């Protein structure tokens, strides 16, 4: 079946579907996979824009609730549900994995080593993501090229070998200002932490506001070397 999906992916590339508008691509892929297209939201500005695009489609929306999110993120979640009347399915860490990990290492062991932090991310984010993506064929994300050097060479449509799924990044080439302009124009609710210097917002213990001139990802896992700042959700090879 994966080879069939890869063939469909290649056909989409050969037909230059990535050159079409976001609405056209969404319409095309949901016709092919009406019940197997999903979108992962963390309620970032980018994800709020995408929610506005998919609100009336067959795209399934889900989020990963790690148990350590900011209260402002939950508020944005509630405001999004209220505005769009959409169903947002939440995926949570497996307690049989999380409880022993915390019992052995403590609640904030991610500060002590990269290995502990990645183990925490794996339990709270990566494994729930795999459950969310299971039985889906298209995964829509809010990745943008400006986010990090690793993402500058991405294509809007790519094959994710790790998860055996087609990924679509509709806002890949949007600038930060374009995202903000769309939010303002459409009066879309967004996380107010963005107004306080928070750019990339994840779990509360692992996210801080950035200072003028700092890199987009500087506020995530700020105590680690910059080359290690990925959690495993998006593996680029």
Cβ pair 172, 144 in contact under 8 A:
yes
* Length reported for the chain: 237
Q: What distance in Å separates the CA atoms of residue 207 and residue 70, rounded to the nearest whole number? A: 9
Q: What is the pTM of this model?
A: 0.92
Tell me which of 38, 203, 206, 231 is the catalytic residue: 231
CB-facing half-sphere around the CA of 195: CA atoms within 13 A: 5
Query: Phi, psi (5° rounding) for residue 41?
Result: -115, 140
* Structural domains in the chain plus CATH codes: 2-228 (3.40.50.620)
Q: Report CA torsion sign: 28, 149, 195, 175.
A: negative
Going across the sheet that includes 37-40, the strands are 88-91, 60-64, 37-40, 138-140, 165-168, 157-160
- The pLDDT value recorded for residue 237 is 46
Encoding tokens for residue 82? 């209220």
Count CB neighbours of 52 within 10 A.
Answer: 17
In 3D space, the residue among 22, 20, 11, 38 whose CA is nearest the CA of residue 167 turns out to be: 38
Q: What is the pLDDT along the chain (237 residues), one digit of tens a residue?
A: 588 999 999 999 999 998 899 999 999 999 999 999 999 999 999 999 999 999 999 999 999 999 999 999 999 999 999 999 999 999 999 999 999 999 999 999 999 999 999 999 999 999 999 999 999 999 999 999 988 666 667 899 999 999 999 999 999 999 999 999 999 999 999 999 999 999 989 999 999 999 888 888 889 999 998 765 566 676 544
Give phi and psi for 228, each to the nearest 5: -105, 10
Query: Active site includes 231?
Result: yes
């Amino acid at each position: 079946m994966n080879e069939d999906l890869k063939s469909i992916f290649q056909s989409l590339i050969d037909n230059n579907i990535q050159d079409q508008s976001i609405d056209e691509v969404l319409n095309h892929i949901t016709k092919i996979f009406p019940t197997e297209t999903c979108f992962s939201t963390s309620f970032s500005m980018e994800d709020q824009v995408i929610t506005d695009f998919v609100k009336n489609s067959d795209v399934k929306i889900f989020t990963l609730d790690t148990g350590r999110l900011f209260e402002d993120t939950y508020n944005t979640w509630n405001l999004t549900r209220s505005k769009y009347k959409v169903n947002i399915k939440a995926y949570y860490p497996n307690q049989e994995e999380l409880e022993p990990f915390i019992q052995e290492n403590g609640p904030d062991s991610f500060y002590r080593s990269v290995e502990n932090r990645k183990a925490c991310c794996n339990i709270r984010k990566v494994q729930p993501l795999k459950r969310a993506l299971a039985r889906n064929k298209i995964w829509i994300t809010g990745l943008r090229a400006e986010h990090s050097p690793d993402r500058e060479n991405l294509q809007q449509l790519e094959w994710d070998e790790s998860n055996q799924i087609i990924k679509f990044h509709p806002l890949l080439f949007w600038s930060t200002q374009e995202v903000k302009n769309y939010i303002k124009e459409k009066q879309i609710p967004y996380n107010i932490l963005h107004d306080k210097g928070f750019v990339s917002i994840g779990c509360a213990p692992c996210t801080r506001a950035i200072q003028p001139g700092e890199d987009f990802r500087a506020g995530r896992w700020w105590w680690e070397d910059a080359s290690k700042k990925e959690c495993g959700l998006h593996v680029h090879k």
